[in-house]
Protein backbone atom coordinates (compact mmCIF):
# COMPACT_ATOMS: atom_id res chain seq x y z
CA UNK A 1 0.00 0.00 0.00
CA UNK A 2 1.37 3.37 -0.97
CA UNK A 3 0.57 6.51 0.95
CA UNK A 4 -1.22 8.67 -1.61
CA UNK A 5 -2.65 12.11 -1.76
CA UNK A 6 -6.43 12.23 -2.31
CA UNK A 7 -6.06 14.54 -5.34
CA UNK A 8 -3.61 12.13 -6.97
CA UNK A 9 -5.99 9.22 -6.44
CA UNK A 10 -8.92 11.15 -7.91
CA UNK A 11 -6.87 12.16 -10.94
CA UNK A 12 -5.55 8.62 -11.48
CA UNK A 13 -9.03 7.10 -11.62
CA UNK A 14 -10.46 9.80 -13.86
CA UNK A 15 -12.74 11.28 -11.23
CA UNK A 16 -13.41 15.02 -11.47
CA UNK A 17 -11.43 17.14 -9.07
CA UNK A 18 -13.75 19.37 -7.01
CA UNK A 19 -12.72 22.89 -6.06
CA UNK A 20 -10.50 22.82 -2.99
CA UNK A 21 -11.32 25.41 -0.38
CA UNK A 22 -8.67 24.59 2.16
CA UNK A 23 -4.90 24.36 1.86
CA UNK A 24 -3.91 20.81 0.86
CA UNK A 25 -0.95 20.94 3.25
CA UNK A 26 -3.41 20.85 6.17
CA UNK A 27 -5.16 17.65 5.06
CA UNK A 28 -4.71 14.78 7.54
CA UNK A 29 -2.95 12.72 4.86
CA UNK A 30 -0.21 15.37 4.44
CA UNK A 31 1.02 15.88 8.02
CA UNK A 32 4.20 14.45 9.62
CA UNK A 33 3.03 12.71 12.80
CA UNK A 34 6.54 12.35 14.23
CA UNK A 35 6.14 16.06 15.05
CA UNK A 36 4.20 16.82 18.22
CA UNK A 37 2.71 19.92 16.58
CA UNK A 38 0.83 17.65 14.13
CA UNK A 39 -0.91 15.77 16.96
CA UNK A 40 -3.07 18.75 17.84
CA UNK A 41 -3.98 19.95 14.36
CA UNK A 42 -7.62 19.35 13.50
CA UNK A 43 -8.37 16.50 11.12
CA UNK A 44 -9.16 18.15 7.79
CA UNK A 45 -10.68 16.20 4.94
CA UNK A 46 -11.00 17.15 1.31
CA UNK A 47 -13.99 19.37 0.68
CA UNK A 48 -17.06 17.18 0.06
CA UNK A 49 -15.70 14.14 1.93
CA UNK A 50 -17.56 12.58 4.84
CA UNK A 51 -15.72 13.45 8.07
CA UNK A 52 -15.73 10.69 10.69
CA UNK A 53 -14.12 12.75 13.49
CA UNK A 54 -15.25 16.26 12.67
CA UNK A 55 -13.59 18.92 14.81
CA UNK A 56 -11.19 16.49 16.49
CA UNK A 57 -7.41 16.04 16.36
CA UNK A 58 -5.61 12.70 16.08
CA UNK A 59 -4.38 13.25 19.66
CA UNK A 60 -8.04 13.26 20.73
CA UNK A 61 -8.93 10.26 18.57
CA UNK A 62 -6.09 8.04 19.86
CA UNK A 63 -5.98 9.63 23.35
CA UNK A 64 -3.67 7.98 25.89
CA UNK A 65 -2.69 5.21 23.46
CA UNK A 66 -0.55 7.76 21.58
CA UNK A 67 2.09 9.24 23.89
CA UNK A 68 3.74 12.56 23.13
CA UNK A 69 6.81 12.06 20.93
CA UNK A 70 10.29 12.90 22.21
CA UNK A 71 11.51 16.21 20.81
CA UNK A 72 14.05 15.67 18.01
CA UNK A 73 17.60 16.60 18.94
CA UNK A 74 19.27 19.19 16.70
CA UNK A 75 20.45 17.47 13.53
CA UNK A 76 18.65 14.24 14.44
CA UNK A 77 16.73 12.50 11.70
CA UNK A 78 13.04 11.69 12.11
CA UNK A 79 11.57 8.77 10.20
CA UNK A 80 7.80 8.50 9.84
CA UNK A 81 6.04 5.19 10.43
CA UNK A 82 5.08 3.49 7.19
CA UNK A 83 3.30 0.47 5.83
CA UNK A 84 5.72 -2.17 4.60
CA UNK A 85 3.16 -4.66 3.35
CA UNK A 86 -0.54 -4.11 2.77
CA UNK A 87 -2.73 -7.10 3.43
CA UNK A 88 -5.98 -7.30 1.53
CA UNK A 89 -8.86 -8.89 3.42
CA UNK A 90 -9.31 -12.51 2.39
CA UNK A 91 -12.46 -13.78 0.82
CA UNK A 92 -15.29 -11.92 -0.83
CA UNK A 93 -16.04 -8.49 0.52
CA UNK A 94 -19.79 -8.97 0.69
CA UNK A 95 -21.90 -5.88 0.80
CA UNK A 96 -19.26 -3.71 -0.84
CA UNK A 97 -20.82 -0.69 -2.54
CA UNK A 98 -21.10 -0.75 -6.32
CA UNK A 99 -19.69 2.78 -6.73
CA UNK A 100 -15.97 3.51 -6.34
CA UNK A 101 -14.80 5.28 -3.22
CA UNK A 102 -11.80 6.61 -1.34
CA UNK A 103 -11.18 6.22 2.38
CA UNK A 104 -8.55 8.06 4.42
CA UNK A 105 -7.65 6.20 7.59
CA UNK A 106 -5.10 6.56 10.37
CA UNK A 107 -3.26 3.70 12.03
CA UNK A 108 -1.57 4.02 15.40
CA UNK A 109 1.65 1.97 15.08
CA UNK A 110 3.62 1.08 18.20
CA UNK A 111 7.40 1.06 18.58
CA UNK A 112 7.49 -2.58 17.40
CA UNK A 113 5.63 -1.79 14.18
CA UNK A 114 2.38 -3.38 15.36
CA UNK A 115 -0.94 -1.69 14.55
CA UNK A 116 -2.60 -0.71 17.84
CA UNK A 117 -5.74 1.02 16.61
CA UNK A 118 -7.14 2.26 13.30
CA UNK A 119 -9.69 4.97 12.64
CA UNK A 120 -11.38 6.10 9.44
CA UNK A 121 -10.94 9.86 9.09
CA UNK A 122 -12.53 10.75 5.76
CA UNK A 123 -14.51 8.96 3.06
CA UNK A 124 -15.69 10.00 -0.38
CA UNK A 125 -18.71 7.70 -0.10
CA UNK A 126 -20.43 5.48 2.45
CA UNK A 127 -19.80 1.77 2.75
CA UNK A 128 -16.04 1.17 2.73
CA UNK A 129 -15.10 1.88 6.36
CA UNK A 130 -15.05 -1.72 7.60
CA UNK A 131 -12.93 -2.85 4.62
CA UNK A 132 -10.46 -0.02 5.20
CA UNK A 133 -10.23 -0.99 8.88
CA UNK A 134 -9.48 -4.61 7.98
CA UNK A 135 -6.73 -3.49 5.62
CA UNK A 136 -5.32 -1.14 8.26
CA UNK A 137 -5.18 -3.69 11.07
CA UNK A 138 -3.94 -6.63 8.97
CA UNK A 139 -1.10 -4.74 7.25
CA UNK A 140 2.51 -4.73 8.38
CA UNK A 141 4.32 -1.56 9.44
CA UNK A 142 7.73 -0.11 10.14
CA UNK A 143 7.68 2.10 13.27
CA UNK A 144 8.58 5.77 13.34
CA UNK A 145 12.00 6.76 14.70
CA UNK A 146 12.89 9.91 16.61
CA UNK A 147 16.48 10.42 17.81
CA UNK A 148 17.33 6.94 16.52
CA UNK A 149 14.74 5.20 18.72
CA UNK A 150 11.45 3.65 17.64
CA UNK A 151 8.34 5.49 18.89
CA UNK A 152 4.59 5.01 18.72
CA UNK A 153 3.26 7.16 15.89
CA UNK A 154 0.56 7.45 13.28
CA UNK A 155 0.45 6.44 9.62
CA UNK A 156 -2.27 8.00 7.47
CA UNK A 157 -3.32 6.13 4.30
CA UNK A 158 -5.52 6.97 1.38
CA UNK A 159 -7.15 3.79 0.03
CA UNK A 160 -9.00 3.63 -3.29
CA UNK A 161 -11.79 1.09 -3.73
CA UNK A 162 -12.98 0.23 -7.24
CA UNK A 163 -16.43 -0.88 -6.13
CA UNK A 164 -18.17 -4.10 -6.97
CA UNK A 165 -21.10 -6.27 -6.20
CA UNK A 166 -21.00 -8.72 -3.37
Q: What is the pLDDT, as a whole number, of residue 19? A: 40
Taking 50 as the threshold, does the pLDDT of residue 6 lie above it?
no
Kindly indicate the confidence band of residue 93, based on its pLDDT and cuts at 50, 70 and 90.
low
Backbone angles phi, psi at 78, to 5 degrees: -105, 140
Q: How far apart are CA 3 and CA 29, in angstroms?
A: 8
Buried b (16+ CB within 10 A) or exposed e, 44-53: bbbeebbbbb
**126, 59 Cβ separation under 8 angstroms:** no
Kindly indicate the confidence band of residue 62, based on its pLDDT and cuts at 50, 70 and 90.
very high
Residues 97-151 have pLDDT tens digits of 778 899 999 999 999 999 999 999 999 999 899 889 999 999 999 999 999 999 9
Sequence-distant (6+) residues with CB within 8 A of 65 are 108, 116, 117, 152
Residues 20-41 have pLDDT tens digits of 345 676 777 788 888 888 899 9
Strand 140-142 to 82-85 pairing: antiparallel
Q: How far apart are CA 89 and CA 94, in angstroms?
A: 11
Amino acid sequence: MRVLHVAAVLASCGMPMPAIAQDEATWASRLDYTLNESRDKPIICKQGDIERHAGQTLAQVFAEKWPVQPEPLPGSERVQAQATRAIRPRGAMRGMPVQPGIVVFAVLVDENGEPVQAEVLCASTEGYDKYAMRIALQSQYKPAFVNGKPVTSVVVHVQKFAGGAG
